[in-house]
Amino acid sequence: GAGVSQSPRYKVAKRGQDVALRCDPISGHVSLFWYQQALGQGPEFLTYFQNEAQLDKSGLPSDRFFAERPEGSVSTLKIQRTQQEDSAVYLCASSLVITPTANYGYTFGSGTRLTVV
Amino acid sequence: AQRVTQPEKLLSVFKGAPVELKCNYSYSGSPELFWYVQYSRQRLQLLLRHISRESIKGFTADLNKGETSFHLKKPFAQEEDSAMYYCALRREYGNKLVFGAGTILRVKS
């Protein structure tokens, strides 16, 4: 597609519910990142995929968070047993190359706003 | 660990006034620094990067390694510059970004 697409745009979950957030990167993009942006804060890194391989998951805050990209394109971020502190905007970004350069940078999606009540 | 600090949550200036958005970082190696901008109801997009040494929409930023700063400047603010601005750092040989908390720039007419 023309850009990075994320769905749903908004999600309200009851505490304890499981949620799945989807990211459709630009076709052919090798690198895919997930970031979490709490209210009033900048985005914080969660995890990184190079094609289907999850090479860095150091930012995942707990074992309730799980991400996958099984075919190296679409990625899903799953949060189990959601808590109020999980409320945030979840951003996905993709890049054509492994280490973005001047000509091939990151493209961000519009994000999914998750509210846990 | 790397850290990016943007000390101002909100910067309000009049149209035509100079703008400086502050950004300081902590990282012992040779980082790559970026400014990202998010206009109302739009997605995050790259404004400029220190390696390119270019001016975008009249904005410039110089990496000062001695002061570990990467302040964003524009000599004459315009109303369309009103947005949220994030400073971000990437480690050498890395690919993930570390963002500051952001500064809202409000340009008043």
Distance from CA of A11 to the nearest CA of B (A): 17
Helix, strand, or coil (residue B46): strand
| Structure confidence at residue B93 as a pLDDT band (50, 70, 90) | confident
- Among A77-81, B1-5, B104-108, which stretch is predicted with the lowest mean pLDDT? B1-5
Q: Which of A46-55, A100-109, B51-60, B91-100 has the highest mean predicted lDDT (pLDDT)?
A: A46-55
- Reported as a single tens digit per residue, the pLDDT across B2-34 is 899 999 999 999 999 999 999 999 998 888 999
Interval B37-54 mean pLDDT: 90
Write down the residue that tokens 């220190």 correspond to: B50
Phi, psi of A30 (to 5 degrees): -80, -45
DSSP-derived secondary structure letter, B56:
B
User: What is residue A97's predicted lDDT score, i.e. its pLDDT?
Assistant: 78
C-alpha to C-alpha distance for B30 and A4, rounded to whole angstroms: 30
Contact B99 A98 (CB under 8 A): no
Q: Is A80 exposed, middle or buried (0-12, 13-18, 19+ CB in 10 A)?
A: middle
Q: A43 to chain B: which residues are within 8 Å by CB?
A: 44, 86, 97, 99
Q: A91 to chain B: which residues are within 8 Å by CB?
A: 44
Interval B74-85 mean pLDDT: 98
Distance from CA of A113 to the nearest CA of B (A): 13
Contact A45 B52 (CB under 8 A): no
